[in-house]
Amino acid sequence: MLPATALAELVAGRVEGDRIEERSLDQFFKRHIETSDPYDERAQAVRPRYEALKAILRESLDGVRVIRVTRADDRAVVRCFVVGRDRQGRIAGLATSAIET
């Protein structure tokens, strides 16, 4: 599969100055599954959804990777792309954004 910077250009339209990070699927979901607050009822209520999404992504995509793109002009918004190859060999996955302050 492509290097993280090339993949970021493909899926995010990466521009000069953007910060690119690559994480594993486990790292991406860690705060929502493994380290979610056990006393936070809302976090525990949605935890099974994150576990199911992680399992579906792992089962459906080969070589699944997480690419995080932080724009040079807006460091608070991080665009996250979970991508891999589907059964037909096409790049597939999902995109989401996170606000980090």
Query: CA-CA distance, 11 to 70, in Å (whole number)?
Result: 13
Q: So what's the pLDDT on residue 61?
A: 96
Higher pLDDT, 11 or 47: 47
Q: Return the closest-CA partner of residue 68 out of 31, 17, 23.
A: 23
pLDDT averaged over every residue in the chain: 88
CA 89 to chain centre: 20
Q: What is the pLDDT of residues 76-87, one digit of tens each?
A: 889 999 999 999
Q: So what's the pLDDT on residue 9?
A: 73
- CATH at residue 20: 3.40.1460.10
Q: Which domain holds residue 55?
A: 4-99
Q: So what's the pLDDT on residue 12?
A: 72
Query: CA-CA distance, 45 to 84, in Å (whole number)?
Result: 28
Q: So what's the pLDDT on residue 19?
A: 87
* pTM, full prediction: 0.82
Per DSSP, what are the bridge partners of residue 68? 21, 80
Query: CA-CA distance, 77 to 70, in Å (whole number)?
Result: 6
Q: What is the pLDDT of residues 54-78, one digit of tens each?
A: 999 999 999 999 999 888 778 888 9
CA 11 to chain centre: 12
> Number of folded domains in the chain?
1
